[in-house]
A and B are shown apart, each in its own frame.
Chain A
Amino acid sequence: MKRKKLVSVLLTVSMLAAAAVGCGQQKTQTADKTAAADEGAKKVTIWYYWEGENQQEVLSQMIDDYSSSQDEITVEAKYIPFADFKKQLSIGATADELPDIAIIDSPDHASYASMGLFADITDKVDTSQYFEGPIESCSLDDKLYGLPFGSNCLALYYNEDMMNGQKVPETWDELRATAKALSTDTVSGLAFCAKQDEEGTFNFMPWLWSAGTDSFHIDNDKGIHALSYIGGLVNEGAMTKEAINWTQGDVMNQFISGNVAMMINGPWQVPEIRKNAPDMKWNVAMIPKDEEHASVLGGENFAVIDNDNVDASVEFLEYVTDPERLAGYLESFGYIAARKDAADGQFEGDDIMKKFVEQMEYAMPRGPHAQWPEISDAISLAFNETITQTSTPEDAAKKAQTAIDGVLAE
């Protein structure tokens, strides 16, 4: 009897502990920032999914700076995990419980804009200083529904200690040969996130574009070439098949653990690698090319929700996207500014980030299309079928094209 009691006490305690830990985590994750609320002051709420510590600090910094600059508007930020973000926005839209600004993944901007969630701010802001790609990702039918925060793109990371005198690959053939030469029982020569979702598509688009086709056409020689090249990398042992289950974060962890010699990843990993693997010798180069250089444009946009608070939201955005301030925020963020006057002079003396700026010139946005998620789904299915050898590249391309054509015809 005594024993039974002991066991139940232990179990209860461990459950309580687990619950308490759960609560604690939630508290630290929601970086709620409430400035001194004046009576009758306007409040702007922001939803975001940035989980990196320094990313959250930058957001807090923005809000603090803004709060101390004026006392009419208070700003509050709420963290929602990336996996739940789209769901929460959709639910919020039906329940009329939306924030005033959502910091969203750029390819989703057009979808939500076409759902009518976002406000048309075309006449409220001046976009002459912005790069075309990022502004395009905030627009739908020539109307502007938000402002880009910062951009990123993918490039090739390599572990200098593992290269064994191999030359840094510049073409697809060189990449395949190098990756094969670097692969062992425990090391994968190359890895990139190849999940069957938007993250995987993000990592596959540079290959598709480099082969010479666009986002909406895959069933042609070029599309099939890209598919069979990636399928070949995996099936010839140049890249681990597990990449179909790895997020970009997983790929980065495998890279710093020495299980991956070269990886495709974005600049937001740079601060992470410097922090977690300070002794590692690594560098960054352009993604090896087939027909032409290509990379994919990523990053977040500030989407302005259509409600009576639009003017306050825009005012906050104008403040934080001021070129000087923006450059400061992006510095510790590992992102490239979406406006030219802020990007000039960014990353002075940082050769690795400079490589990303260089690669950025070849970065294109996915879509944009209101039903991009469906197109993306067809593309990610195609490369997953090829990698797992469930289909030939030809059949996979054909099937994907039928799905894409269906979406485009709607």
Chain B
Amino acid sequence: MFKKRIKKETVGLLFALPALIYMCALVVYPIISNIILSFQEVTVKTFSLPQKPFVGLDNYIEMFQDPVLLTAIKNTLIFTVCCIAFQFLIGFAMALLFSKKFTASQPVRGLLMMPWMIPITVTALMFKFMFGSNVGIINQALMAVGLIGEPVEWLTTSGTAMFALIVTNVWIGIPFNMILISTGLSTIPKELYESASVDGANRITTFFHITLPLLRPTIESVLILGFIYTFKVFDLVYVMTGGGPVNTTQMLSTLSYKESFEMFNYSKGAAVANILFVILLLVSILYLKATYKEED
């Protein structure tokens, strides 16, 4: 009996082995080597040395003294929180809408997935043109209806550049939120709503007492996955503003890229990437905890 059990476990481990090797080679190794890199000083000067100088926390200290890093952390947080809030609320509303059957509801829902499927670079270029100040369609439309008197310099003014990025990313992210919440909604048994309506509950009470509580696990996943996905935004910002004007849309990811591949400060770039990694790791742990709790 006991022997058999051990054998079973060994077989199980064997099944997990390919995944484990894969994870070690492609996830664990790069993370560790990136951490080591961030404690060394690898720049143009030390690049060819066989033994790179070890500098401890110097790269981190220098980066934290550089106002750009704090700006990048602040920007990334503002971007993420705003995007998640709007994506989630609009996605939720759409999921509720499409949970009702009406004419053409299925094809329209399918079409709404488009933003999620278009490559981000394409979307970014499209919105870059749309937000252009002289020929952009957004300014022309707003001026035509009289909302603004003169063109807004969307992507070249500090505050509005971030706003434009958020609008674009919300547009991309709505389908993701919608589809996950839709799936969640479809798992709620219809009988619950039927008996609630027999008991005389109105729509608002059913929403707050049946829909929301039963959707809680879905909502948690959507928010945390959305956070992780949004926090590491790169291509959108790189194409639309390149972190500008004057670093007002500089994110942790774009800063890391710039340090590593434009300025050849490989170690500082690694340090920024690790800061990004630690923040996301904390969020992921929260997520894992939440899902474990449910499974128990």
Q: Which of A218-264 contact B (CB under 8 A)?
A: 240-242, 244-245, 259
B4 interfacial contact with A, CB 8 Å: no
Contacts of A197 in B (CB 8 A): 242, 262
- State A393–B192 Cα separation when bound (angstroms): 67
Are A245's CB and B264's CB within 8 A? no
Q: Determine if A116 is an interface residue (Cβ-Cβ < 8 Å).
A: yes
Closest 6 CB pairs of A and B: A116-B48, A115-B47, A7-B110, A87-B261, A388-B245, A241-B156
The proximity string for B residues 102-146 relative to A, scoring 1 for CB distances below 8 Å and 0 otherwise, is 000011001101000101000000001000111100000000000
B96 within 8 A of A: no
Query: Would A245 and B155 be within 8 Å (CB), given that A196-B242, A196-B245 are in contact?
Result: yes
Chain A, residue nearest B66 (CB): A403
Q: Which residue of B lies closest to A188 (CB)?
A: B134
Q: Tell me the complex Cα distance, A196–B254, Å.
A: 13
On whether the beta carbons of A90 and B245 are closer than 8 Å, the reply is: no
Of the stretches A41-49, A279-287, A373-381, the one at the interface is A373-381
Chain A residues contacting B281 (CB-CB under 8 Å) are none
The answer to whether B155 and A196 have CB atoms under 8 Å apart is no
Could you say which residues of chain B place their CB within 8 Å of the CB of A116?
47-48
Q: Which residues of A contact B119 (CB under 8 A)?
A: 18
The residues of B that contact A241 with a CB separation of less than 8 Å are 133, 153, 156
Residues of B within 8 A of A37 (CB): none
> In the bound complex, what is the Cα–Cα distance between A265 and B63 (angstroms)?
36
Instruction: Judge whether B44 and A370 touch: CB under 8 Å.
Output: yes
A197-B242, A370-B44 known; 15 new pairs, CB 8 Å cut-off, are A4-B106, A7-B110, A90-B260, A90-B264, A111-B264, A185-B134, A195-B244, A196-B242, A240-B133, A242-B132, A244-B245, A245-B155, A371-B44, A377-B258, A390-B245
Do most interface residues of chain A lie in helix, strand or loop, or is the interface mixed? helix
* Chain B residues numbered 243-264 whose CB sits less than 8 Å from any CB in chain A: 243-247, 258, 260-264
Q: Judging by beta carbons under 8 Å apart, are B134 and A8 in contact?
A: no
- Taking the closest CB of chain A, its distance from the CB of B117, in whole angstroms, is 7
In the complex, whether B59 has a CB less than 8 A from a CB of chain A is no
User: What are 18 A-B residue pairs whose CB atoms fall within 8 Å in the complex?
Assistant: A3-B106, A4-B106, A4-B110, A112-B44, A197-B242, A198-B262, A241-B133, A241-B153, A242-B153, A244-B156, A244-B244, A245-B155, A370-B44, A370-B45, A373-B262, A373-B264, A374-B263, A390-B246
* Interface range for B: 35 or more
| CB of A378 to closest CB in B, whole Å | 10
Chain B residues contacting A300 (CB-CB under 8 Å) are none
Interface assignment of B241: CB less than 8 Å from any CB of chain A:
yes
Report whether over half of chain B's contact residues are helix, strand or loop; otherwise say mixed: loop
Task: Provide the residues of chain A in CB contact with B132, threshold 8 Å.
Answer: 242
Tell me the B150-187 residues at the A interface (CB within 8 Å).
153, 155-158
User: Residue A136 at the B interface, CB < 8 A?
Assistant: no
Query: B231 at interface (Cβ–Cβ under 8 A)?
Result: no
**Is the CB–CB distance between B263 and A377 below 8 Å?**
yes
Tell me the nearest residue of chain B to A88, going by C-beta: B261
Given contacts A197-B262, A245-B241, A385-B246, contact A15 B106 (CB under 8 A): no
Is B266 close to A, CB under 8 A?
Answer: yes
Q: A240-B134, A242-B156, A388-B246 are in contact. Are A86 and B117 (CB under 8 A)?
A: no
- Min Cβ gap A410→B in Å is 8
What string of 1s and 0s marks CB contacts (under 8 Å) between A1-15 and chain B? 001101110010001
Complex Cα spacing A198 to B247, Å: 15
